[in-house]
Chain A
């Protein structure tokens, strides 16, 4: 079973991330186990700046918080997943040639001139500006209730990016990209850096890469008894 992730450890993690520069990973440590072996408190982001990383950590902690049943986003290294995905070229498959018409009907799909990397860079900057304006401090220093209120405002576009000078990206679009990546990181195979120790799979009852159920397919309405296996062959 996975070790309990206490809220005090989580607080320490958030505080240390906010307060001090991230210590570089000792060479060789992540390589040995790939991204599955990363310890979040010692992880050095490869895409985000230290200030952006602080914001990302704090938002992930509200998107999938530690409280309640099931592991939280920090316990499962979701920020590592997002940082790695952005570094590895997430969005390189998007058709980005202009002209762009960002005000097209939503049913005609994504029409921004931005790759996800741009969306995060712009979104984090403007969200922090808006937060500073509204609360007088950066997002990571808000109480949990204010954090959730502010995230809801991003989700519902009551934070107005246009008023902050951004011509196309809406707060809700930044929010949607971020939330989608957070859920992906929580539920993807651990090899991508999130879902540490397959804790999210254990919590929901998904057996991962077992991928052979000839004997189980017609055992109707019986919970599957075995825990998950990862692509790297680990069990939980």
Chain B
């Protein structure tokens, strides 16, 4: 038993990233006593004053503001017949830790899924013949309509000072925006960032080829912004240190810059750092939680009683905590029973790097979200998917998230070391641009999360185990997208080009960074038989536990996840405020 018990609170929040911070301010403004427990350190804005973050080696190479694998590794295998091995170093993804979570060092691309993306199962049933898709595919609709969720996207856009071009305002298409986006109730709060050279080159060719490019929707703000909570952001100065860095200019929307500065001033909110929650404590009937237990800075076990428990850590950590606490039944891929761990999905990326002797891209002069993209090749927007027998799509883009030199691209054939490498850096640094894809990824019966039987964390608790690999559907999609990217690349007439796409026999390579857009594992749905959470992110099994995060997505769409995490968190916060507080119990009858 824990040797320390804290004072009671109304709400305990486990993990103070985007989801935790939104829940904190929304519920604290309701007058509730809210306490957040963050497993990592505090990350106050003064730690990121200029020039501290302008340090590629510390922040990018050595992952200064990320969780370490030593403390947060999981294990990975391709199929359930294999023994999983730990992610001893980060590669394909790298979760954050500390106050702000991944929201502190994200790139800031704040894009919504399309109405088709949130009703993907319905679309698949209409557009594909029976039996055309993989029999093990387990895609689902999100359990809300576009009209229900749109106001929450809209509010989160305003929290972040979203900068870009409006594409669809209440059903009217707008020039310069994404014609495929769902109708917005209000325009983008701020105009787009300035375009860099790669942006304008890509945009010209994409337009000429009949696509509909638009500026990457950006949470690096283009102009000064005061958000609905009263927090202020400064215009982005294109410092070039964004993706994987905290912002040195108060320009990137993060929990710190948009929420925490405000909620920290409220007397009914507090937070503890280096507080590693090891379980949710349930009452004997397992229908409600009494609070959570954590290990504090002095390695003492502390019990935190609470009326409502919000699990808002990174996706993996949320799923793992549910498994460690006995919330819901673990998923079994053989019998397809149980819900915790099912529908895990990652995503793929890829692209071409184009080298131009005579062009200066000045890649260091950029915002994280700098880029142009088009959404023409996403589900429902093109006909080749149903024709060729794969479902999914991608945003196709030329982005310039950062231009720091360690790991800079060099033309194919450049030696890896020696005089040739050195002169390659002199000749080619700043002379390349990318044309890239960020793809969808479907969920499958055999892709899931559970607890590893062998490997443990430093506190003796089992690591989470991931069973995942590429499936034919995702590989076919990659090969299809490759043709489009190489066509665009060819039109740009580079002096040299390198490409990076999956082949039909590729296994998932955990060593090459893709993005940290891991989703699923504790998904939202309409039935307790095949989802862990109802539409309000409330556990079907333990009604005072809510689990906002990427864990709730039933599959991955081509859009970056943060906008949706914000929207579903706000949707859940509203349900807690308007319904749950008055009448604590299941918000949806099973």
Contacts and interface: CB of A to CB of B under 8 A. Distances in A.
B507 interface: yes
A157 B554 CA distance: 44
Interface residues of B, number: 67
B86 A214 contact: no
A60 to B, nearest CB: 10
Interface stretch (B56-64, B303-311, B542-550): B56-64
Given A106-B511, A187-B406, A211-B50, A64 B197 contact: no
Interface of A: 62-65, 67-70, 72, 92-97, 99, 101, 104-112, 148, 151, 155, 179, 182-184, 187-189, 192, 200-201, 203-214, 216-224, 229, 231, 233
A214 B404 CA distance: 17
Given A64-B421, A65-B422, A211 B248 contact: yes
Contacts of B55: 189, 209, 231
Contacts of A155: 416
A interface SS class: loop
A229 to B, nearest CB: 8
Contacts of B195: 218
A213 B237 contact: yes
Contact of B240 (A179, A205, A213, A223): A213
B406 A201 contact: no
B510 A93 contact: no
Interface string B405-432: 1101000000011110111011001100
A111 B511 contact: no
8 contacts: A96-B70, A97-B455, A108-B76, A183-B406, A206-B430, A209-B54, A221-B360, A233-B51
A70 B405 CA distance: 14
Contact of A220 (B200, B239, B364): B200
Among A109, A110, A189, A221, max chain B CB count under 10 A is at A109
Contacts of A182: 417
Given A109-B88, A111-B88, A188-B406, A220 B507 contact: no
Contacts, number: 180
A218 B361 CA distance: 10
B interface SS class: loop
A78 to B, nearest CB: 12
B87 A95 contact: yes
A189 B418 CA distance: 21
A119 to B, nearest CB: 13
Given A110-B88, A213-B365, A95 B237 contact: no
B423 A68 contact: yes
Given A68-B423, A108-B85, A208-B54, A62 B430 contact: no
A181 B417 CA distance: 12
